[in-house]
Structure 1
Amino acid sequence: MLNKRLAVALTVSGLLAGVTACGAPAQTAPRRKRLRLRHALGFGHHGRRGRVGLDPAAGAQRIKAAGLDILTAEGTAEHYHAHLDVLVDGKAVTVPAEIGFSFGADGQPNGISALHTHDTTGVIHIEAPTAGLKYTLGQVLSEWGVLDGKDATGAPHGGTGGWTVYLNGVKQSAPVSDVVLKAHDEVVLSFGSAPSPVPSSYNFPAGL
């Protein structure tokens, strides 16, 4: 059941990537903007045009680095969603699909964590087998492998200096990694120029 559902998710994300690739020719971003994005996110696996890629080969290690288990099916004891916007100088950075997935040698998904994404909308899914646990922005970043997220060795990719978190439009004083995700939260992670206005809510699709 999981393999079928994950395979569908993988296929959908592949189609989305294909649509992007088949669209208008991509214009190379100015070098200084690319370098600023790399510096801001402290991460090496970068895409183009405001995208920061996800290395599927290390999915299992990143899930473990986040302190989460690799599941064979999405949990049903706790099920809710939050939304994440990542902005660098007010420009959106795409949150990748399949954060929180593990993959086999054949490239097909073979596991999932309670905290994950299915697409590039920025919707964070919490589907846990145990109710009452807290899930944080820091765990999302660990599974993604950016900022204070850690790699398989436990070494941090980069710091969160210069980053600001807004929760439902309100600036947070807590460390980035400590922000707890709750149902229908709108989380904005911003670097550089502050967004104006700050997104304070997200129009979740029916059923989420």
Structure 2
Amino acid sequence: MALLLLGGLGGYYLLQIATVSPALPCIGGEGGGLYHWHTQLNIFSGATKFAIPASIGRSAFCLEPVHTHDSTGLIHIESDVNRLYSIGDFFAVWGKPFGSPSQMLVNGTAIPTPSPTVILYDQESIELHYASFA
């Protein structure tokens, strides 16, 4: 009886996870798309570097076109459609608001008005500074 109850609960939660809609359409798999780019993202909350979690945009049910594998901040951009993705797309996949960073640097160059529309390109580095980021 207890095993049946636990199995039912496990199935319920698995179904809940499986029915959560991804922010972007899932891709067919790793490395099989039109391109595979990498952008380094560093976020600072005050003077402290914020750890970007591993496996953003990756689950047992879906691999989103912008995702992380580990906690280094390296964003993988893989697509099987001809489309560019933005830092705002990554934040949507992550489930965090882009908010209002006080400073944004792309390849070391300050962007006068930080924007979630900045495109993620291969071998690029993006640095975001927030007064507070959680």
Unaligned stretches of 5+ in structure 2? 1-16
Larger radius of gyration: 2
Are residue 145 (structure 1) and residue 102 (structure 2) matched? no
Q: How many residues align?
A: 115
Instruction: Give 2:119's match in structure 1, choosing from 169, 180, 195.
Output: 180
Distance 1:79 1:60 in 2: 25
Where do 1:92-171 residues align within 5 Å?
Answer: 92-102=49-59, 109-131=60-82, 133-148=83-98, 160-171=99-110
Where do 1:1-208 residues align within 5 Å?
Answer: 57=17, 60-61=20-21, 63-64=22-23, 68-74=24-30, 75-102=32-59, 109-131=60-82, 133-148=83-98, 160-192=99-131
- Give the number of the structure with larger relative contact order, counting CA–CA contacts within 8 Å between residues 6 or more apart: 2
1 or 2, which has the higher helix percentage?
A: 1
Distance 2:127 2:88 in 1: 13
After superposition, the CA RMSD in angstroms is 2.2
Unaligned stretches of 5+ in structure 1? 1-56, 103-108, 149-159, 194-208
C-alpha contact 1:70 1:111 (8 A) present in aligned 2: yes
TM-score normalised according to structure 2 size: 0.75
TM-score normalised according to structure 1 size: 0.50
C-alpha contact 2:39 2:125 (8 A) present in aligned 1: yes
Q: Deviations over 1:52-100 (max 9, x none)?
A: xxxxx59943x32xxx201341342111111000101121111111111
Name the stretch that deviates more: 178-187 or 75-84.
75-84
Counterpart residue type for residue 128 of structure 1:
S
State the Cα distance separating 1:130 from its structure 2 match: 2.1
1:140/1:164 Cα in 2 relative to 1: closer, same or farther (>3 Å)? same
Identity %: 29
Q: Partner of 1:166: helix, strand, or coil? A: strand
Counterpart residue type for residue 163 of structure 1:
S
